Homo-oligomer: A and B are copies of this chain.
Amino acid sequence: MSSPEGFRDLTPLITPRSVAVVGASASAGKLGHTILKNILDAGFAGPVVPVNPRADAILGRPCAKSLDDLPDPVDLAVVIIPAVAVPEAIAACGRRGIPAAVVITGGFAESGEEGARLQAALTEAAARHGVRLLGPNCQGINNPHHGLCASWPLLTARGALAVVSQSGTVGAALMDWAAEDGLGVSCFAALGNRAVVDEADLIAALGRDPHTRCIALYLEGIKDPAKFAAAARGCPVPLVALKPGRTPRGRAAAESHTKSLAGDDAIYAGFFRQHGVHRADDVEALYDAARALAYLPRPRGRRLLIVTSSGGCGVLAMDAASVYGIETPPPPPAMAEGLRAFLPPHCIIGNPLDLTGDATAAWYRRVAELAAPHYDAIAPIFGDPIPGAADAVEAPPTPCVICLGGGDVERAERRRLHARGIPVFPTPERGMRALAALLPPTGVAGSRFTVPG
């Protein structure tokens, strides 16, 4: 059940072969109905058994009266019954040999002394029977590659970005944006009260997940710093974290929310830095950094060429690049000559390279080819309707694509870029901030990145 490093084997939680929905309800609008419906609608391939003592069948699926009454072995129990009944349900899972459970129900440690007692009983039951329990008081788990949406809202877009969140809403927002963008996620796990399974277990498990190329974390505190550090060290994919509580009032709110110490922010900042976790400053920054890390190749160095149809957006990008410590050397003479050979004289050859409103997709493509030997990254800013823009983007150099102001043409090209797995940022500033997440901190000794000049 645990790896030698002490991480729980979460296979039955993340990729269960069969699911029981304990507290499945026939009443639309009830969470026990929504969850069952989402599991079915997401297309889960294995057996799905509603557990309900008073119904014969729900949504066309025959019910089991109780966990003890399940006809076949089950990998994962999704639990949506009143809090008071949950510890016994987990014990029943253990007796029945169900190795994993997600407890959606709230009313545990987050809600006073009685809840804390229930959570202690729950934890004890899980420990006694070795049940790997996610939650309680959580928004469930969604693995679109496995057709498992034991969560809400129903989201099924498959991608490369995993989300582990102490806030269901922050996780759902990231998933929803990724779905809208056509990028998708590899897995979403809501931590809830972390009675058993914690972020370190999930980092260890998702780091080995074949679909995951980055893990985005929303954490109000770290449950077990030593375990987290070991998970982060061993994690083969990059981690990016949003940790609130940076102000005294925010910290007090975090402690009230999770009923645990949020901790001094400077400690967390140093801890994340030490363990190579990129820190995001807000929810959008978390999403942008995570999709950059999941979908873009790491630049070899820090040299960026900004190429734009909009002079103003070039200026904004330059300001932001400067703030984030991104280098923007001018094109070297040989490249400048190559640019002059095909660009009209009113284009401004420099960095930013201003192609003006006459820019075509072919120009952008040619610029990227000429830039490849000299730059580690390129930020094409499509600031006008530029048909074919999506075809003008290829790595290397690492593309940090920014699209705005292009109306319907932009929308179409943006969809095409996302369909190719290339994230698109809506402003120069968000693009530069995301690119910065791909770069190593400056001056870090022993970095695996080349930091030129």
Contacts and interface: CB of A to CB of B under 8 A. Distances in A.
Contacts of A315: 220, 244-245, 250, 253-254, 257
Contacts of A254: 315
Interface in A269-297: 281-284
Interface string A150-167: 001111000000000111
A172 to B, nearest CB: 4
A409 to B, nearest CB: 7
Contacts of A356: 106
A354 to B, nearest CB: 7
A168 B310 contact: yes
A305 interface: no
Interface string A101-118: 000001100111000000
A264 interface: no
Contact of A166 (B246, B312, B320): B312
Interface of A: 106-107, 110-112, 139, 152-155, 165-173, 176, 218, 220, 242, 244-250, 252-254, 256-258, 281-284, 309-316, 318-323, 328, 345-346, 348, 350, 352, 354, 356-357, 383-385, 404-410, 426-430
A315 B170 CA distance: 11
A419 to B, nearest CB: 20
Contact of A430 (B220, B284, B383): B284
Contacts of A283: 316, 404, 427-429
A153 B245 contact: no
A312 B257 contact: yes
Contacts of A410: 176
A254 B348 CA distance: 12
A314 B309 CA distance: 40
B357 A316 contact: no
Given A169-B310, A254-B315, A247 B407 contact: no
B409 A153 contact: yes
Nearest to A107: B346
Given A256-B350, A428-B283, A405 B319 contact: no
Chain B CB within 10 Å — which of A253, A283, A406, A427 has the most?
Answer: A253
A38 to B, nearest CB: 10
A99 to B, nearest CB: 27
A407 B176 contact: yes
A249 B153 contact: no
Contacts of A258: 311
Given A166-B312, A167-B312, A245-B315, 17 more contacts: A106-B346, A153-B406, A167-B313, A168-B384, A169-B309, A169-B384, A169-B405, A171-B405, A172-B383, A172-B406, A173-B383, A173-B405, A253-B318, A257-B312, A282-B316, A282-B427, A282-B430
B404 A257 contact: no
A426 B110 CA distance: 26
Nearest to A247: B322
Nearest to A180: B411
B321 A249 contact: yes
A352 B309 CA distance: 44
A231 to B, nearest CB: 21
A354 B257 contact: yes
Contacts of A172: 383-384, 404-407
A247 B319 contact: yes
30 contacts: A106-B356, A112-B345, A139-B357, A153-B408, A165-B312, A167-B310, A167-B312, A168-B383, A169-B384, A170-B312, A170-B404, A172-B383, A172-B404, A172-B405, A172-B406, A173-B405, A176-B404, A176-B406, A220-B312, A220-B315, A242-B316, A245-B315, A247-B319, A250-B318, A253-B315, A257-B312, A257-B314, A282-B320, A282-B429, A283-B427
